Amino acid sequence: MNSEKSIIQIAKQTIEAESNAIFNLSNLITDDFAEAVKLIYNSKGRVVITGIGKSAIIANKIVATLNSTGTPSVFMHAADAIHGDLGLILKDDVVICISKSGNTPEIKVLVPLIKNAKNKMIAITGNKDSFLGQQVDYVLNAYVEKEACPNNLAPTTSTTAQLVMGDALAVCLLEMRGFSSKDFAKYHPGGSLGKKLYLRVNDISSVNEKPKVSGATSVKDVIIEISAKRLGVTAVVENDEIIGIVTDGDIRRMLSNSDDFTTLKALDIMSANPKSVTGETMAVDALEIMETNEITQLLVEENGKYAGVVHLHDLIKEGII
């Protein structure tokens, strides 16, 4: 049983069992799901999600997903709730209880207490005929035929189904709210994900050097400018307008093609009509332009005037890649 072949087979069986269970969830979506989504959407309060054991872990993840997509949510452990944490639930909050069986002792104690407070309740359960299923306002059926565990004991397929049901809730609410990538960025300002959503070219190029020469600048001075500004490139500018670009590659090609470059000027070796972006361009869009054109730098302009350079290395350093 410890051979590579048997391990791979068990892994495949687990994935197939869970994927089949998830696929079947689409057949269990009823009007209760739609009504639950509308209840949360129209609520003036938060979503309080509770559970125990592995369901509590899933509840935490669903809370995180809802919070990051515009639906204020908090987690309340079912066991802690009946020992003081019930005060987390405010008047207008909607409560979601997660339980595979719907019949755990903690749920049986907790549910009547919530009902007494008149809060609306939603169940995510694998047993819609359970105590929980019969007591709540709406049931989201997360039934699975069996766990991926060979003993049909360890919560595997059932917790995956709960998680998927929570994601379905979150995405429906996201769509109803018209939640955009800009909204998403407000909740994810840190890390590479946040930077992809809010970082603009000007945030990077404004701290870089601004290498520039005129068309009449000698090749020697062009090389000095490129070396001094350490961006591997210089803009060729006349009256603050970009007329071309000279890169390290242009210098190498010049050296390969010419034995005497003492009389050459920037105008002779530059590439005309270089790719450029404005400072307001999203950094991730600048990266796409670089990748599409197989280049490592973009010139930046504002109102038709040269404003700087953004380099591929800048994007790497910021974690955009």
Structural domains of the chain, count: 2
Domain endpoint, select from 178, 209, 236: 178
Does residue 19 lie within any of the structural domains?
yes
Q: What is the pLDDT of residue 149?
A: 84
Is residue 77 marked as binding?
Answer: yes
| 41 pLDDT more than 90 | yes
Count CA atoms closer than 13 A to 6's CA, side-chain side.
Answer: 3
275-294 pLDDT, tens digit per residue, is 999 999 988 899 899 999 99
Does residue 40 lie within any of the structural domains?
yes
| 155 pLDDT more than 60 | yes
205 with 309: CB under 8 angstroms?
yes
Residues 42 and 137 in one domain: yes
Q: Which residues on adjacent β-strands are paired with residue 213?
A: 236
pTM given for the model: 0.65
Residues 167 and 230 in one domain: no
Cα 300 from Cα 276, distance rounded (Å): 5
Residues 299 and 233 in one domain: yes
Residues 16 and 154 in one domain: yes
Residues 298 and 155 in one domain: no
**Cα→Cα distances 294→100, 287, 298, Å:** 52, 10, 11
As a whole number, mean pLDDT of residues 41-67 equals: 95
Which range, of 48-52, 79-83, 234-238, averages the lowest pLDDT? 79-83
CA 71 to chain centre: 16
Output 37 or 181, whichever has higher pLDDT.
37
Closest to 159 (Cα-Cα) out of 128, 125, 120: 125
Closest to 212 (Cα-Cα) out of 193, 195, 228: 228
| 11 pLDDT more than 90 | yes
The domain in which residue 78 lies consists of 4-178
Residues 172 and 279 in one domain: no
Strands, E assignment, 131-270? 138-141, 212-213, 233-238, 241-247
Residues 235 and 312 in one domain: yes
Residues 210 and 106 in one domain: no
* CATH number of the domain residue 208 falls in: 3.10.580.10
Residues 77 and 207 in one domain: no
Does residue 183 lie within any of the structural domains?
no
Angle 54-68/157-177 helices, nearest 10 degrees? 20
Q: What is the pLDDT of residue 192?
A: 53
Residues 171 and 221 in one domain: no
Domain endpoint, select from 147, 178, 209: 178
Residues 233 and 160 in one domain: no
Does residue 279 lie within any of the structural domains?
yes
Cα 316 from Cα 299, distance rounded (Å): 17
Residues 166 and 205 in one domain: no
